[in-house]
């Protein structure tokens, strides 16, 4: 992919935005793993732990990019990403209490790296889909996102809490990436690429279905919560 092309820069922006949307769990992991350390060691744990996690994530994403050449994996990956986009809208607030705080710098760094590796599957899949086989895009996108994950992700979480529509934009971006992954499935041949109308119609339908499903689930959950509150008050 030509680094001076519109496709390159639009894909890079999508990757950075995906990292922003999926950075919340990273912030929680980092905070919980380093909370027992002295103040002077907390910063080192954050920097070293995040650095190690990013290296592992780059390697994992590059492996997934190569694996996407296998028949049907674009379709499987795209469908998984559709589910992730939906879950982004309806996920409940929770912190993983199983993430133990380290009592030493080494323990905290290991906890951050291992927890991030276990929780970063959605990020790896989304970035691999948005990169369209370009290792440079994978590396650039994740490297640019490091300061965001380390210092800015908690701010971004607060923004999403205050402006809920940002989550819907993020989910739409993930759904767009998922739809593009599915249309790039080699088994489908030129079915999508031969006709722009077919391609964009499919992309729009996937985005609208994901957002509509999220809105429906959220409204239903809100109604259930209100009914439960009403019962408890009586």
Q: What is the pLDDT of residues 146-183, one digit of tens each?
A: 666 666 555 655 666 677 788 888 788 888 888 988 99
Question: What is the spatial distance between Cα 104 and Cα 66, in angstroms, rounded to a whole number?
Answer: 37
Under DSSP, the state recorded for 7 is H
123: which 2 tokens?
Answer: 């990020």
Q: Which domain holds residue 34?
A: 6-233
User: Is residue 193 a part of any domain in this protein?
Assistant: yes
Report, as an integer, the average pLDDT of 202-231.
Answer: 90
Q: CA-CA distance, 43 to 40, in Å (whole number)?
A: 6
pLDDT of residue 149: 64
Take residue 59 and report the two structure tokens written for it: 């390697």
Q: Does residue 217 belong to any structural domain of this protein?
A: yes
Residue 97 has pLDDT above 60, yes or no: no
pLDDT beyond 90 at 213 = yes
Please answer whether residues 174 and 88 qualify as being in contact, where contact means their C-beta atoms are separated by less than 8 angstroms: yes
- The answer to whether residue 1 is domain-embedded is no
Can you list the pairs that 119-122 forms with residues at least 24 positions away whose Cβ atoms lie under 8 Å? Answer: 119/25, 119/26, 119/29, 120/26, 120/53, 120/57, 120/60, 122/22, 122/81, 122/84
Distance CA 29, CA 101 (A): 9
Per-residue confidence at 186, pLDDT binned at 50, 70, 90? Answer: confident
Alpha-carbon distance of 184 to 146, in angstroms, equals 29
Q: How many domains does the chain have?
A: 1
Neighbour count for residue 65 (Cβ, 10 Å)? 20
- Least confident segment among 19-33, 79-93, 189-203: 19-33
The predicted model gives 46-74 an average pLDDT of 82
Q: With the C-alpha atoms ordered 150, 151, 157, 160, is the resulting torsion angle positive or negative?
A: negative
Average pLDDT over residues 5-34: 74
27 in a domain, yes or no? yes
* Separation between Cα atoms, residue 64 and residue 230, nearest integer Å: 48
Considering the domain boundaries, does residue 117 fall inside one? yes
Question: Would residue 166 count as lying in a domain?
Answer: yes
User: What was the pLDDT predicted at 160?
Assistant: 67
Identify the pLDDT of residue 214. Answer: 92
Is the residue at 200 inside a domain?
A: yes
Average pLDDT, the chain: 79
> For a pLDDT cut of 90, what percent of the chain falls above it?
9
User: Looking at the domain assignment, is residue 188 inside a domain?
Assistant: yes
Q: How confident is the model at residue 95 (pLDDT cuts 50, 70, 90)?
A: very low
DSSP string covering 79-122: HHHHHHHHHHHHPPP---TTSPPPSSHHHHHHHHHHHHHHH-HH
């Amino acid at each position: 992919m030509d680094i001076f092309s519109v496709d390159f820069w639009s894909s890079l922006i999508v990757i950075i935005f995906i990292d922003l949307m999926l950075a919340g769990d990273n912030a929680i992991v980092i905070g919980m793993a380093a909370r027992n350390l002295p103040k002077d060691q907390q910063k080192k744990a954050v920097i070293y732990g995040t650095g190690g996690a990013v290296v592992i994530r780059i390697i994992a994403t590059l492996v997934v990019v190569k694996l996407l050449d296998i028949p049907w994996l674009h379709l499987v990956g795209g469908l998984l990403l559709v589910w992730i986009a939906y879950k982004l809208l309806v996920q409940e607030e929770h912190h993983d209490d199983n993430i133990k705080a380290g009592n030493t710098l080494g323990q905290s760094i290991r906890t951050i790296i291992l927890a991030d590796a276990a929780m970063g599957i959605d990020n790896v899949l989304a970035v691999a889909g948005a990169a369209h086989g370009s290792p440079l895009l994978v590396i650039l996108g994740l490297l640019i996102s490091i300061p965001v994950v380390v210092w800015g992700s908690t701010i971004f979480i607060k923004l999403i809490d205050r402006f809920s529509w940002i989550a819907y934009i993020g989910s739409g971006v993930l759904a767009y990436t998922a739809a593009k992954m599915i249309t790039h499935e080699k088994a489908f041949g030129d079915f999508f690429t031969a006709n722009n109308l077919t391609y964009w119609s499919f992309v729009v339908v996937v985005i609208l279905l994901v957002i509509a499903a999220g809105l429906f689930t959220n409204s239903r959950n809100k109604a259930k919560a209100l009914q439960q509150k009403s019962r408890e008050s009586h």
